[in-house]
Amino acid sequence: MTSAPDRHPGGFRNRLRTVRPDGTPVYRHAAAPGSPPVCLGRNDLEEGLPHQPPGQPHAHDFLVLVYVERGGGTVGMGGSPTPLRDGDVHAVPPGRTIDVGRAALDHGRSWSVSFTPDAVPSLASVSPLAWAHHPLLALFAAEPTPGGASARVPEAERPSWTAWLTELADELASPERVGTREAVAALLTRLLVGAARLAPSAPAPLDPLVGRVFEQIEATYRDPVSAGDVARALGYTPGHLTTVVRERTDRTLLDWITERRMTEVRRLLRETDLPLGVVAARTGLRDATYLVRRFKARYGVTPERWRRGERARTARR
């Protein structure tokens, strides 16, 4: 697949962000300023509605919730073949490798909701290092079931899931309507609540080393530390710790540092009028110029344009 934009219903476009050393492309989101950072895709090849994902193994830097309305075939999740069964829900965290071929989707019908936490007000400022502990994201931290899915929707509840997703698609199809962002947030929240209720009562325990890494990032991300600084503070070489973190979390050490910083950058842009130089200084970035470059590379817009879009959205409420 090329790096050409992949647009689907919603204010969301997938663009190539980077390519891993093994050749796996990682896609980022690029939401239109002021639009909900949500994309919904529907796969139904029998009805001629192919929302075809990239045909090669790939990963995303955003969250993806997949609901299998009617099963058929298999997909690769994290390097393992996973059957698609009626009612399955797959909560795909950022960084996990997905391998979907056209043949694997034959005769199936599924929905995929791609989003960033900004889409839900209660998640907008949550540290990515704490996602596993947030109730709405419980399923993303759960161990897969024996069948490979994150969970399975009881048969009696499946019509409700289809109805929620259909309504979400309708809202995203007309983003200019009054209240669309609020309606999208409410519907996505309803889906996440439904998914969380399917999650095990206790989340999968956090790997002890990953926990130490997250604690170190949380304590130092406001300073201009590098992945090497974090590794050395914990007594590891940068190369070794980066490899271990990627193997255990599907993301590199630098990815986690950057995600934490950018979450705080967005919070400061949304909630304050601080100049970009101050925002940069409070998030471990060198200066305003570097902040603009990193922000635009990750989100497709400048920080100031993103801030204006958020303010305009708030003013329309």
What the block records as the tokens of 173 is 């199809």
* Fold observed for domain 208-315: Arc Repressor Mutant, subunit A (1.10.10)
Question: Does domain 6-198 correspond to CATH entry 2.160.10.10?
Answer: no
Edge-to-edge strands, sheet with 74-77: 80-83, 74-77, 98-99
Q: Print pLDDT tens along the chain (317 aa).
A: 333 334 455 555 677 878 888 888 888 877 666 678 899 998 875 555 445 555 678 888 899 999 999 987 788 887 788 888 999 999 998 888 888 754 455 567 899 999 998 899 999 888 988 887 889 998 988 777 666 678 999 999 999 999 999 999 999 998 888 889 899 999 999 999 999 999 877 667 788 999 999 999 999 999 999 999 999 999 999 999 999 999 998 899 999 999 999 999 999 999 999 999 999 999 999 999 999 999 998 888 899 999 998 887 766 65
Could you tell me the residue ranges of all domains in the chain?
A: 6-198, 208-315
Asked whether the domain spanning 208-315 has the same topology as the one spanning 6-198, the reply is no
Contacts of 131 (CB under 8 A, 6+ apart): 93, 117, 137, 140, 141
